[in-house]
Amino acid sequence: MNIQHFADGEFAVCYEESIRGADVFLVQSTNPSSDNLMELLLMIDAAKRASAHYITAVIPYFGWARQDRKDRPRVSIGAKLIADLLGVAGITRLITMDLHADQIQGFFNCPVDHLYGSSIFMDYIEKEIPLQNLVVATPDVGGTKRVNSYAKHLGVPMVICHKSRIRANEVAEMRIIGDVKGKDVLLVDDIVDTAGTITKAADLMIENGARTVRAIASHAVMSDPATERIEASKLTEMIFTDSIPYYKDCSKVKVLSVAKLIAESIRRVCSHESISSLYTF
């Protein structure tokens, strides 16, 4: 591929070899800036116009997924808009991972393979974290279903943090529902953006008697000052996947690769095999 940039910030994409009749897999997370999304849309359009047979968008991190409904009057539903853009551009299939809301799959009129990072995290948890005193926790009520799946699989108790917000990315108040005294807490989330919620939850767990607090999250959006907050927090460890590249220096951050999961999914799509067997839960 060749990407040509113009002085005004516009860019154009071009395939440097024939893809006529080929099954094309375009791997691109749509994390900020929106240039990543625009580049993907142009790549899809170019593939369609170059007579590709199938065009599969592989989007490990699906941006704008937090805008999945009208939670107040006169707001956009960004996730639906992105789904429409990808469909009009010409994708025939979507492969993505740990959507912020499962119902986003229904915004597409093409097959969606929704992967889960639980298989990646479970391997790490079972090898690296002692399970004797483990409690899994969600930093907000919206993640209860996700945390419940981890608790059932590991056979450990779960705890919920209830929070209220002043505005987006700013937490006003947080309280714990459950007992963490003397426990090793594992916070489970899908996205860490400014890290305000996850670090506040970790500090609250320690204040309420937890021995250690670790956190796992699929997508490291990590907008400033997230790295500084995690470094200064009472978190023992913060574990991400590399669905979004993370290049900053933080002694507490551990990054796990999604490469094998994505690769095996692509292989199974090509050979028309079931993908659901890849899921731990």
**Which residues belong to the active site?**
163
Class of residue 182 by CB neighbours under 10 A (exposed 0-12, middle 13-18, buried 19+): exposed
The 10 Å CB-count burial string (b at 16+, else e) for 82-91 is bbebbbebbb
Between CA 107 and CA 123 the distance in angstroms is 32
Between CA 66 and CA 30 the distance in angstroms is 13
Residue 257 neighbours by CB under 8 Å, 6+ apart: 120, 241, 242
Are residues 256 and 240 in contact, defined by beta-carbon separation less than 8 angstroms? yes
Smallest CA-to-CA distance from 110 within 86, 75, 138 is with: 86
Q: Residue 95 is encoded by which pair of tokens?
A: 């492969």
Alpha-helical runs (H) found in the chain: 35-49, 78-89, 118-128, 144-154, 196-207, 226-232, 259-270
Between CA 62 and CA 99 the distance in angstroms is 7
**Alpha-carbon torsion 162, 168, 169, 172, what sign?**
negative
Q: Residue 213 is encoded by which pair of tokens?
A: 């607090």
**Alpha-carbon torsion 82, 240, 146, 207, what sign?**
negative
